[in-house]
Amino acid sequence: MLAYAAQTHTVSQSGQGYVVQPNGISKDVFAERLRTASSSAVAYARSMVRQALPEDSRFLIEPNKSYDGNPLVGDEQVFPQDSAAPHLKGVSLEVAVDWLWREGKVPEWVNLRAYDADEAVSYILMECCGRFTARSDLLYHRAEGYPPFHVTSPALPSFDWESVEESGRFDLEGRRGKPSP
């Protein structure tokens, strides 16, 4: 029974026996985690870049950024056709969630970083794993508090960039070579 339940549920032991909870992530929870992670990405980037970053965010989605040649585990599913699809650019949180949440399955990891900004919107780049799952135990970045999302720094301007104190602030990747708004 417990071996079967572990495939579709998280099984943990408590003082009163075993606790069995369904795996997966609801669409609402996934959306809230994306909202929290994108706010964190903007806040982190503000400490490093020259551009003002508005609170309102839009998303650039890059699917299938993982190596998916290893055998699938559990309920993992891949969508190779996503690689051929045009990447989604400048979409709302709702559109991003609708595109990434697939019948209860989500990418196992999603790296977020501030990419660009204009007067009204911060653009967040989402690099997404190609493996989707409904199993919470297969989601990466649980320790960060909003799995599967992981906030990274904006793309650094060069390999020799040290820190804001040593090298100064820099332009967001999408702003490099363009006039500041």
| Tens-place pLDDT, residues 42-90 | 999 999 999 999 999 999 999 999 998 899 999 999 999 998 877 899 9
- Decide if pLDDT at 7 tops 60: no
pLDDT at 176: 84
Question: CA–CA separation, 34 vs 3, rounded Å?
Answer: 32
- Decide if pLDDT at 9 tops 90: no
Alpha-helix residue ranges (DSSP H) falling in the chain: 2-8, 27-46, 81-84, 93-100, 164-167
Q: What is the pTM of this model?
A: 0.85
- Decide if pLDDT at 163 tops 50: yes
- Decide if pLDDT at 12 tops 60: no
**87-129 per-position pLDDT tens digit:** 899 999 999 999 999 989 999 999 999 999 999 999 999 999 9
Highest mean pLDDT pick, 15-19, 66-70, 130-134: 130-134
- Decide if pLDDT at 137 tops 70: yes
- Decide if pLDDT at 178 tops 80: no
pLDDT at 10: 53
- Decide if pLDDT at 19 tops 50: no
Query: Who has greater pLDDT, 177 or 63?
Result: 63
Share of the chain above pLDDT 70, in %: 86
- Decide if pLDDT at 4 tops 50: no
> Measured in whole angstroms, how far is the alpha carbon of residue 85 from the centre of its chain?
19
What average pLDDT does this structure show over 136-152?
A: 96
pLDDT at 75: 96
